[in-house]
Homo-oligomer: A and B are copies of this chain.
Amino acid sequence: MTKLTTVKLRAPYLILIGDLGDPTYAKTGLGIVDWRPDLVAGQLRFAGSQVDMGVPDMSVAEAASAGVKSLLIGVAPIGGVVPDSWWDSIEEAARAGLDIVCGLHFKLADFPRLVAAAEASGARLIDVRNPPPNLPVGTGIKRSGKRVLMVGTDCAIGKKYSALALSQAMQEAGMKSTFRATGQTGIMLAGEGLPIDAVVADFISGAAELISPDNDEDHWDVIEGQGSLFHPGYSGVSLGLLHGSQPDALVLCHDATRKVISGWEHYDLPSIRDAIDQHLLMGSRTNPDIRCVGISVNTSKLPADKRIEYLATLSEETGLPCVDPLIDGCGAIVDHIKQLYGEK
């Protein structure tokens, strides 16, 4: 039987920018350069590109001879399709043996020329939106090591960013930690993971168990959240991820000015108290020792003079460190974790 695993990418990456005119659409590529410069060998740009990620320009041939392992389509063009003029380069990369990694809505396997090129060289075509087959059902069996899961009062509220920032802050504080990806952009950043919202419903918690496997007792997996327990569309994903992750700790992610579920405006956001209490209640099913260790707040829409007051009040009400990770960093949450769980 094949060993069950997450999607695993091969670094270093060449990131395809093409002739993109607007950096907005290069968010994925820019995120990788930002958070994981160690994975990036260079960028592939065409005449006319107005985006520069500040990494070396490389042709496919140069990348192949420099030992680059994967071409990442690091852009999300309007309409979600790759311009026709880019396909020659993508095919060339596959022919040169580079894995092609894509997070857009089409499937790489639907392009016969590309499939043929990849088959000839042994390159893999990896749609990071597609989970691998044969995922297991969740066992609920306890795993070794420590886990902290990002949860949110809504979707798209900073869970990925908070996880990346917290994992980095833990490492800076001398702790062992790994960012664990549960979505497509996260997978490109981490180099592995599973797109948890794309798995078949029966296997959500099983996939979550694969994402954060057994580890050293003093190692922390910092797990990217998905959806929200309070979201009328995506709550099932969030509960399966919560149960499968068996987190020791939660960080609640929130936006200081958001009042209703984004795009589902007929639903109010839960209160911070309810959000914490209900996550702890549900999470205690697979980890009775679960606790909330901090709140990560996007305060970007608050006036500057209200920001500190907002976080101080929230911290007083909840007894938890409350930070805007973009401004304050996650040091306060790391300190609290060290205090609760010991220096290790």
Contacts and interface: CB of A to CB of B under 8 A. Distances in A.
Nearest to A236: B240
A198 interface: yes
A243 B286 CA distance: 21
Contacts of A139: 232-233, 264
B232 A236 contact: no
A235 B230 contact: no
Nearest to A277: B281
A234 interface: yes
A127 interface: no
Given A201-B196, A264-B139, A236 B234 contact: no
Interface string A173-213: 00000000000000000000000111111101110000000
A250 to B, nearest CB: 17
Given A233-B137, A235-B239, A198 B205 contact: no
Interface core residue of A137, A199, A243, A286 (most chain B CB under 10 Å): A243
The number of times this chain is found in the oligomer is 2
Given A139-B264, A141-B266, A267-B140, A286 B232 contact: yes
Interface string A151-188: 00000000000000000000000000000000000000
Contacts of A281: 278, 281
Nearest to A267: B140
Contacts of A239: 229, 235-236, 239
Interface in A218-239: 229-230, 232-239
A238 B230 CA distance: 14
A30 to B, nearest CB: 26
Contact of A201 (B140, B240, B243, B266): B240
A145 interface: no
Contacts of A244: 232
Contacts of A282: 278, 282
A200 B202 contact: no
Nearest to A230: B285
B202 A234 contact: yes
A138 interface: yes
A236 B140 contact: no
Contacts of A137: 233-234
Contacts of A240: 201, 235-237
Nearest to A227: B202
Given A266-B141, A285-B230, A236 B198 contact: no
Contacts of A264: 139-140
Q: Which of A138, A229, A239, A266 has the most CB of B within 10 A?
A: A239
A341 to B, nearest CB: 23
Contact of A237 (B197, B236, B238, B267): B236
14 contacts: A137-B234, A139-B233, A140-B232, A141-B266, A197-B202, A198-B202, A201-B240, A202-B234, A205-B235, A235-B240, A235-B285, A236-B243, A239-B239, A282-B282
Given A201-B240, A236-B237, 5 more contacts: A139-B264, A197-B202, A230-B285, A236-B239, A278-B281
